[in-house]
Amino acid sequence: MRDDRIYLNVFTPKPGKLDDLADLQMAETSRLGPISAEYGWLGNEIYRSDEKLVIVTRFASDEQTGAWQQTAEFAQHLDLLDPALEQVDSTALTLLARNRAPDAPIRLAVITGSTREGRFSDQPANWIAGKAADHGGFAITGVDLRDHDLPFFGAPHASDAQRRAADAFVAMMQGFDAYILTVAEYNHAPTAVLKNALDHLDAMRKPVAFVAYGGVGGARAVEHLRAITAELRMVAVRDAVHITYADLKPLMAGEATLGAIPHLENNATIMLDELAWWARLLRDAEHPA
């Protein structure tokens, strides 16, 4: 279970201003979300009663909450609320347990593991995301490593912006129940950018699956990743999708599509079945501290 810091915020509006306050908070959540995520913000849940507005806010830590509250953006946010806000009472909470209905969707991240120009990895990422949608039971988010300026893990000269990007990436990735990695094999290994992303990741006791491609279907890179994810205390499902050169060549030439290759379709179905089973089991289990 993550050590999220949760804040229960009860807003008392000025007379007749409840609707205005609710509209402002919803607009501000959309506007500030990408900025506050750099400071460890994980999400808001907004509720209203007849007289008050209640917002449950999650941050990765107290320290990151404090850093966010010192920003100019947060001060501007408070100024915008002031005409409608009479009082706010905040209480910090610690999560003790979380229970879900057995059929709650599995929050799945499909990670595009190559960033180079002319990459092939968009094809398997889009294909397996579509397969997961057809499978059912998944809430799917695509994660393209091109969109995350992560420093090399532990690099002493990383910029403040890169450190904030790394913190935001870690916080975002913690919100998923399962992961699928698209794996390009270079020199018998996965890409450096994917390995670096995994070094940043905190995904203990969560399942991971692989869609790989290369001369031998990316098998050597996947075996490498099985060892890496085991060290991260993740659970790598046995079945993977391996796109060998015989299939890769017509795919890269635009002469075939992944959905038209029966053995890859079958392998993907088996892999998704296993991933869904492990994700539900691990998500709903009681884990040791």
* Model pLDDT for residues 265-277, shown as the tens digit of each residue: 999 999 999 999 9
Domain membership of residue 29 (yes or no) is: yes
Query: Chain-centre distance of CA 190, in angstroms?
Result: 20
| Termini Cα distance of the chain | 8
Q: Residue 10 — pLDDT band, cuts 50, 70, 90? A: very high
Domain membership of residue 98 (yes or no) is: no
Do 41 and 144 fall into the same domain?
no
Whole-structure pTM value: 0.67
Residue 211 belongs to domain with CATH number = 3.40.50.360
Q: Dump strand ranges (E) for 166-268.
A: 178-184, 207-213, 235-236, 241-243
Do 261 and 139 fall into the same domain?
yes
pLDDT in the model for residue 281: 92
Domain extent for 82: 5-93
Give buried/exposed letters for 76-109 (b at 16+ CB in 10 A, else e).
ebeeebeebbeeeeeeeeeeeeeeeeeeeebbbb
Do 127 and 178 fall into the same domain?
yes
208-227 average pLDDT score: 96
**Boundary of a domain, candidates 71, 93, 115:** 93
Does pLDDT of 1 surpass 50? no
Low-confidence winner among 86-95, 136-145, 217-226 (lowest mean pLDDT): 86-95
Do 213 and 252 fall into the same domain?
yes
pLDDT in the model for residue 209: 98
Q: How many domains does the chain contain in total? A: 2
Do 82 and 125 fall into the same domain?
no
**Boundary of a domain, candidates 41, 60, 93:** 93
pLDDT digit string, tens, across residues 142-181:
999 999 988 888 778 888 888 888 888 998 999 999 999 9
Q: Which two tokens mark 48?
A: 């209203």
Do 254 and 136 fall into the same domain?
yes
Do 120 and 54 fall into the same domain?
no
**Which range has highest mean pLDDT (36-40, 128-132, 172-176, 198-202)?**
128-132
Domain membership of residue 289 (yes or no) is: no
Sort residue 37 into left (φ over 0), alpha (ψ -120 to 50) or beta. Answer: alpha
Which positions ≥6 away from 95 have C-beta within 8 Å?
Answer: 1, 2, 4, 6
The residue type found at 136 is: G
pLDDT digit string, tens, across residues 238-247:
999 999 999 9
Do 224 and 277 fall into the same domain?
yes
Q: How big is the CA angle at 21 (ends 71 and 69), to the nearest 5 degrees?
A: 15
Do 133 and 247 fall into the same domain?
yes
Do 111 and 78 fall into the same domain?
no
**Boundary of a domain, candidates 93, 128, 159:** 93
Name the phi and psi angles at 8, rounded to 5.
Answer: -95, 110
176-193 average pLDDT score: 95
Do 122 and 81 fall into the same domain?
no
Domain membership of residue 116 (yes or no) is: yes
pLDDT in the model for residue 43: 86
pLDDT in the model for residue 30: 86
Do 67 and 126 fall into the same domain?
no
Domain membership of residue 264 (yes or no) is: yes
Residue 22 belongs to domain with CATH number = 3.30.70.100
Domain membership of residue 99 (yes or no) is: no
Q: Which of 234, 183, 239 is nearest to 208 (CA)?
A: 234
